[in-house]
Amino acid sequence: MNIHTIATQPFLDQKPGTSGLRKKVPVFQQRHYLENFVQAIFNSLEDFTGQTLVVGGDGRFYNRQAIQIILKMAAANGFGRVLVGQGGILSTPAASCIIRKNNAFGGIILSASHNPGGPTEDFGIKYNTGNGGPAPEKVTDAIFAASTSLTSYCILEAPDVDLDQIDSFSLGSMTVDVIDAVADYGELMESLFDFPKIRQLLSSGNFRMVMDSLHAVTGPYATAIFEQRLGAAPGTVQNGIPLEDFGGGHPDPNLVYAHDLVEVLFGDNAPDFGAASDGDGDRNMILGCRFFVNPSDSLAILAANATLAPGYKNGIAGVARSMPTSEAVDRVAAKLGIDCYETPTGWKFFGNLMDAGRVTLCGEESFGTGSDHVREKDGLWAVLFWLNILAERGESVEAIVTEHWRTYGRNYYSRHDYEGVDSDRANTLMDQLQAQLPSLKGQTFGSYTVGYADNFSYTDPIDGSVSQNQGVRIGFTDGSRIVFRLSGTGTQGATLRIYLESYEPDAAKQGLDPQVALGEMIEIADTIAQIQALTGRDQPTVIT
């Protein structure tokens, strides 16, 4: 075997963020850059000789080249077997499913999620552990530490593997199995949801849906599941062929970036149901006919209706949401008498709770919902869950959501993003907020009085690890909240996120546009944080 040890020097910027290492493609294309990070992953792990690794990505530009490098490095570092999705494709939830199903040691997922792709756009790489979930902070810290002291990496000299053939190949003494990217995942979905019932709905002729894969990874999954298995009309899946640059778009399922879908669902003769997912398939957006379902509400509604799906018919153990996610699900948990956990932003914080059996459903305001069927959030799972509920209840999306509000009250919610803000300005804003925290309690702004103001800190109830500085929270005495944090997933400048929430129990007042209902909160946020003055922007880049 021809294993080379290549001398290298550390790059000092390989610190994984909220979800792995994300950089522009040209950064990854620097000599040794990707190799260094992959070696840092391997150096931070122990006892994997002869074990199985899962590898796949969202198909963005540089996916195939990166996979060839990773395969040769896995072989040189002693893995016994690598499972790789056909064409180098695996959605993030499918990768999680395959890691778990095969008792793999872990997996490497190549994605920058919802960020644009292409030769000058984003690329990303993250490591998932044997439970199928994103590496926890202690692992990512170890990877970063390893990256800063790296002096060499090992790679096998061998021809490239044919990623398009479903087959087994030898790479040195390692086996590479190129597997069907969809099959295992499709089977798992079928075990959770009532496929015959959904099939009845989709083929009834009375129900029309559109699924927008935004030219990203869920195209093949959605076509196989909705059109081939569940009888949805051909063409139900739009933008269903994964493209290396996502067709030049931003593969992020929200009202701004999924504009084609929004036009259809808010246009004349709109279908009954619309959904979209992101670059790597873990996010989702749910729309009804001329109706947007806020992701925080979606989590609450799935929790309240969980027993309608066969996989959850015996009830759910508990729920978890990220701190900035609205408290709508807390109200469902209280009614069901189950625990509700509040964690920092980032799916990795749900892993321990799911492994310990404390929670079944989890969700985030950032268009992420999922359950303990895998250890990632799961876009198509959420779509199927909604379809299962719609098939059982025979009501429209809007009717289900408004009835939910009548029962539990409505948590008006909105997120304002200021993207590409100068990092120094953004840090100044956060520092000034932090400095005000001790004096905010008791202060009155308009009709609101501050009940508490802090920087969120989380102690993991399972392993006791502490994560500090997870976002500034300003809570008002009537239960309204404003949260400020800087995104951990951007690659250019800083993204300031402001999360706004208020609670409305009165059904007669639940029909407002959230921007109107939250108008005073929006002004208070600017008064306290001086957003316009400090960012130099007079409005957010994205409002969801």
Give the residue carrying structure tokens 């989702």: 284
- Nearest alpha-carbon partner for 66 in 25, 97, 11: 25
Name which of 277 and 366 has its Cβ closer to ligand G6P.
366
Question: What residue number has its CB nearest to Zn ion?
Answer: 113
Residue 35, interface with Zn ion (CB under 5 A)? no
Residue 282 contacts Zn ion per CB under 5 A: yes
Cα–Cα distance, 271 to 208 (Å, whole number): 5
Q: Which lies closer to Zn ion via its Cβ, residue 150 or residue 216?
A: 216
Return left, alpha or beta for 131; rule: phi > 0 is left, psi -120 to 50 is alpha, else beta.
Answer: alpha
Residue 366: contacted member of Zn ion, ligand G6P, none (CB under 5 to 8 Å, by partner type): ligand G6P
Given 91, 113, 277, 296, which residue is catalytic? 113
Residue numbers 464-493 binding ligand G6P by CB under 6 A:
487-489
| Distance of alpha carbon 457 from alpha carbon 536, whole angstroms | 29
Beta strands in 36-183 (DSSP E): 52-57, 81-89, 106-110, 122-129, 152-156, 167-171, 174-179
96 flagged as catalytic: no
Kindly state whether residue 378 participates in binding Zn ion, applying the rule CB under 5 A.
no
SS3 433: helix
Assess 271 for contact with ligand G6P (CB under 6 A).
no
Residue 497 binds which one of ligand G6P, Zn ion, none, with CB within 5 to 8 A depending on kind?
A: ligand G6P
How far apart are CB 244 and ligand G6P at their closest, in Å? 21
Q: How far apart are CA 313 and CA 317, in angstroms?
A: 12
Q: Please, are residues 54 and 98 in contact by the beta-carbon 8 Å criterion?
A: yes
Is there binding between residue 19 and ligand G6P (CB under 6 A)?
yes
Interacting partner of 375 out of ligand G6P, Zn ion, none (Cβ under 5 to 8 A depending on kind) = none
Verify binding: residue 280, Zn ion, rule CB under 5 A: yes
How many residues bind Zn ion (CB under 5 A)? The answer is: 5
Q: From 92, 70, 83, select the one nearest 180 (Cα to Cα).
A: 83
Measure the CA angle with vertex 23, ends 22 and 25; round to 5°: 125
When the beta carbons of 113 and 218 are compared against Zn ion, the nearer one is 113
Nearer residue to ligand G6P within complex by CB, 486 or 534: 486
Is the Cβ of residue 487 or residue 510 nearer to ligand G6P in the bound state? 487
Q: How distant, in Å, are the alpha carbons of 260, 316, 432 from that of 365?
A: 22, 20, 25
Pinpoint the alpha helices (H) of 305-408.
328-336, 351-355, 379-393, 397-408
Q: What are the two backbone dihedrals, phi and then psi, of residue 498, each rounded to the nearest 5 degrees?
A: -120, 120
Longest dimension (CA), the chain: 73
Look at residues 455, 537, 457 and name the one whose alpha carbon lies nearest to residue 496.
Answer: 537
Could you say whether residue 278 binds Zn ion (CB under 5 A)?
yes
- Residue 115 interface partner, choices Zn ion, ligand G6P, none, CB cut-off 5-8 Å depending on type: none
- Which residue, 318 or 351, is less far from Zn ion as judged by CB? 351
CB 384 within 8 A of CB 192: yes
Do 61 and 123 touch, CB atoms closer than 8 A? yes
Could you tell me the smallest distance in angstroms from the CB atom of residue 376 to ligand G6P?
A: 8
Token look-up 């948590």 returns 411
Provide the strand spans (E) within 18-141: 21-24, 52-57, 81-89, 106-110, 122-129
Stretch that binds ligand G6P, among 94-102, 253-261, 343-351, 406-414 (CB under 6 A): 343-351
Give the footprint of ligand G6P on residues 292-331 (CB under 6 A): 322
Strands 167-171 and 81-89: unpaired
Q: Does 113 bind ligand G6P (CB under 6 A)?
A: yes
Between 71 and 214, name the residue whose CB sits nearer to ligand G6P: 214
Cβ-based nearer residue to ligand G6P, 236 or 322: 322
Residues binding ligand G6P: number (CB under 6 A): 14
Residue 369 in contact with ligand G6P, rule: CB under 6 A: no
Q: Which stretch binds ligand G6P (CB under 6 A): 61-69, 302-310, 339-347, 443-451?
A: 339-347
Alpha-carbon gap, residue 422 to 305, rounded angstroms: 43
Q: Which of residues 105-134 bind Zn ion (CB under 5 A)?
A: 113
Q: Which of 93, 42, 98, 38 is nearest to 66 (CA)?
A: 38
> Which does residue 280 touch among Zn ion, ligand G6P, none (CB within 5 to 8 A, set by kind)?
Zn ion
Q: Which of 85, 346, 363, 471 binds ligand G6P (CB under 6 A)?
A: 346
Segment near Zn ion (CB under 5 A), from 28-36, 141-149, 282-290, 443-451? Answer: 282-290
The one-character DSSP state at 232 is P
**Residue closer to ligand G6P, measured from CB, 333 or 486:** 486
Q: Choosing among ligand G6P, Zn ion, none, which partner's interface includes residue 368 (Cβ < 5 to 8 Å by kind)?
A: ligand G6P
Residue 346 interacts with which of ligand G6P, Zn ion, none, CB < 5 to 8 Å by class:
ligand G6P
| 361 CB burial (10 A radius; 0-12, 13-18, 19+) | buried
> Which residues belong to the active site?
113
Using CB under 5 A, list all residues that contact Zn ion: 113, 278, 280, 282-283
Using CB under 6 A, list all residues that contact ligand G6P: 18-19, 113, 322, 345-347, 364, 366, 368, 487-489, 497
